Structure 1
Amino acid sequence: MSARFEGLAALVTGGASGIGAAVAELLSREGADVTVLDVVQSHPDHYWQECDLADTDSVEAAVAAAAARFGRLDVVVNNAGIGAQGDVSANSDAEWSRAWEVNVVGMARVSRAALPHLRESSAASITNTASVASLAGLPQRVLYSATKGAVMAMTKAMAADHVREGIRVNCVAPGTADTPWIQRLLEQSDAPEEERAALESRQPHRRLVSAAEVARAVAYLADPENRSTVGVCLPVDGGMEALRLRPD
C-alpha cells in the first residue's frame, strides 16, 4: 500500500459507516491522520468528533478540534448525507428543509470552516459526495436528486472560487451502492430480493457499487499528485449514467 497521504490530515464527514467509513479507512491506510465527523461513534482507530451538520456551532467546533488535534488540515471529504424517497408530492416541507440542511448546506458549513486551514496547506483538497442522481433522473427520488444536483453544481462553483488558492474541489458520483442505508431500504421492501435485483439490473455492470470502489475514487481525487484534476464529477456507477446498452 502506498503512503500518498503521509503527513497529511484528513476530515471525513459521515465516516462512521458505509462509503464514509471506507474512505476513512483507505485514507488512514495510506498515511493520513483521519478525523471522522458523525453523529455516532466511528471506528476506534480514527479520531472522532460528534457533529450535527445542520448546526453551524457544532460544525465549527468539530472542524476546529480536528485541526487542533493534528496541527493541520489538508483533505476534506464531505460525504455525510441523508436519503429521501417519493415523487414531488411525497415529502413534507420539514423533510425538504432537513435534507437540504444536511446534504447541501452541511457541506457548505464544513467547507467554510475548513477553508482557513486548507489555505495553509500545499496539498489542499475538498471532495464532495454527489450521486448518479445528480446526473440522471431516477424514479421516486425527487428530493434526494435535488440535493445531489445542488452538490454537483456547488462543487464546480467552489472549484472555480478556490483553484487559484491551491485548493482543489471535486466530487464523486456513486451509483446505487451496497451500504447500510440501501440495506435498510431493502429490508423495508415487501420483496427485498426482487428489489435488490431491480437495483442491480439498472446498472450496466449488473451489481451494486461497493463502498471500497467509491473510496478509491475519492482517494484519487484527493491525491495531491493529481493537481490538474479540478472541478471534476467522477462517476462510480458501473456505467449507469453514461451507457445505453441494448437489452439482452
Structure 2
Amino acid sequence: MNIRVFRTPSDAGIYAASMLERVITSSERPVIGLATGETVIPVYDALVNFVRCGLNVSHVTTINLDEYVGLAPDHPQSYHQFMNQYLFSRIGVRMQSTHLPNGVAPDLVAECERYNEVIRNHPIDMQVLGIGVNGHIGFNEPAHTLITGTHVVNLTPETIAMNARFFSRKDDVPRQAITMGIQSILQAKQIMLLAFGEHKADIIYRALKDGIRTDVPASILQLHKDVTVILDRQSAARLGL
C-alpha cells in the first residue's frame, strides 16, 4: 500500500488525475471505476484540465460505485447528476460508455444483477474510492458481514446525517442505495483511496493501521496488492508520517 500526503486537496487531485491519465493512455479500452462526493471533485477538476490540454478520453468506459434508491437520474441530488455536473458534461465522454445503477428500477434485485453483469463485462483497471467517516467504501456500510456483489443497502443513521446537508429537508434524504459490492471493488487491478480533512483522520487511521474488520469496511483494502492512498495533511494527521 502506497500512501501519498499532499499540502492541499487540489495538489492531491492533480496527482490522482495523473494516475488516471496513465491508465487511460496505456490501454486501448480502459475501464475506470468512479466515485461521487466532495472528496473526488478536485480529481475531476484536474482530469478536466488534462482533457482540455489534449488527453483523449473517447475510448474510456466508466463504472460508478453507487446510486440512491428512489432518485431518478434527473434528480438534482442523484449521482447521475453529480457525474454529469462535475465530469461527464465537461469532457465530452460518450454517455453510452458510462454506467451507473438505476435507483428507480422497478425490480431492484434484477437491477443489481444487471449491474453485476456490467462489471463482469468490463473489468475495472482503476477504481477511485472515497471513504465515509464510518469507514464505508461505496455504500458498503459497517456490518457483521460484507456483501460481495452489487446489492441494496440500508444506509446507517450516520451516513444519512452526513448526506442531509445536500437536501432541503432531512426527511428527503434517501434511506437506501444500490452499491457495488466489496468483491467487485477488490477485483479492480488498481485502487486509489482519497480522504481530505481533519474529520477523516480517525477513520483513515482505523482503516489503514487497526487491522481488517467488517465494522470498518475500508480496512479490507489492506488485502489488495495495488492500493494508493491519497491524503492531505489533515486526514493523515494520525498516521505519524
The two structures have a TM-score, normalised by structure 2, of 0.39
Structure possessing the higher relative contact order (Cα contacts under 8 Å, 6 or more residues apart): 2
Name the larger-Rg structure.
1
The two structures have a TM-score, normalised by structure 1, of 0.38
